[in-house]
Amino acid sequence: MTQTCDICGAKYSSELWKHSTKNICTYCVQIQLLEESYAVFSQDAREALQHITKEIERLLDKQQEEHTLPLIKKGLSFLNGFLIREADFRLLEEGIYWYNDFLKKEGRLESTRFVVDRTHLVGSTRFIVVLYLKDGHEPETWKFFTGMRKV
């Protein structure tokens, strides 16, 4: 029997959630479970992140991409474990791009780099994993969502 998800409107045929008071598809259940374990980004954290990204922009303008590494890591630590707006990640993402580009020009990209992996979930909400890889070390990992899905 085909049902319609009360959250996203998608059609699905599953008996998995039949005892629930709502019709919810597997994708929306996954999102709800993940969102419950993540906090919403606070205004204070957003302002601190804006300050960090301004510093990154200043260094990029001076073509000092290599010096952005501690700022990028600090910014990612602010995002880690949060549900954030896409715009809160864009400037950090630009900093990551130019940092990787600098290392590529220096021939050091193979030993030290950031990897940004986005997993599409439901609607505009995406799960982002940023890995910092350095030869001989365990990768540093930051995980967060971008996008605010309206339920």
Q: Is residue 151 part of a domain?
A: no
- Please write the tens of the pLDDT for every residue from 3-21: 788 777 877 776 555 555 6
Q: What pLDDT score was predicted for residue 141?
A: 95
Instruction: Tell me what percent of the residues of the chain surpass a pLDDT of 90.
Output: 44
Domain count, the chain: 2
Give yes or no: residues 50 and 11 share one domain. no
16 and 64 housed in the same domain? no
Residue 32 sits in the same domain as residue 56:
no
pLDDT tens digits, 100-118: 999 999 999 889 999 999 8
Task: Verify that 63 and 17 share a domain, yes or no.
Answer: no
Identify the DSSP state of 138.
P
Mean pLDDT of 29-56: 81
Pair 88, 111 in one domain: yes
Question: Going by C-beta distance under 8 Å and a sequence separation of 6 or more, which residues neighbour residue 5?
Answer: 11, 12, 23, 24, 25, 28
Give yes or no: residues 26 and 80 share one domain.
Answer: no
Whether residue 13 is contained in a domain is answered as yes
Same domain? For 123 and 92 the reply is yes
In a domain, 82, yes or no: yes
Q: Based on the fold, state whether residues 73 and 30 are members of the same structural domain.
A: no
Given this model, what pLDDT does residue 1 score? 66
What is the amino acid identity at position 143?
A: K
- Position 86 pLDDT exceeds 90: no
Whether residue 118 lies inside any domain: the answer is: yes
Over the stretch 129-148, which tens digit does the pLDDT of each residue have? 999 999 989 999 999 888 75
Instruction: Answer yes or no: is 15 within a domain.
Output: yes
Q: Is residue 124 part of a domain?
A: yes
CA dihedral 45, 50, 51, 55 (to 10 degrees): 140
Residue 24 shares a structural domain with residue 84 = no
Which residue range forms the structural domain that includes residue 21?
1-37
Domain shared by 60 and 115, yes or no: yes
33 and 104, same domain (yes or no): no
The one-letter code for the residue type at 63 is Q
Indicate whether 79 belongs to any domain.
yes
User: How far is residue 95's CA from residue 146's CA, in Å, rounded to a whole number?
Assistant: 17
pTM: 0.75
Is 113 inside any structural domain?
yes
Shared domain check, 24 and 73: no
Neighbours of 87 (CB within 10 A): 9
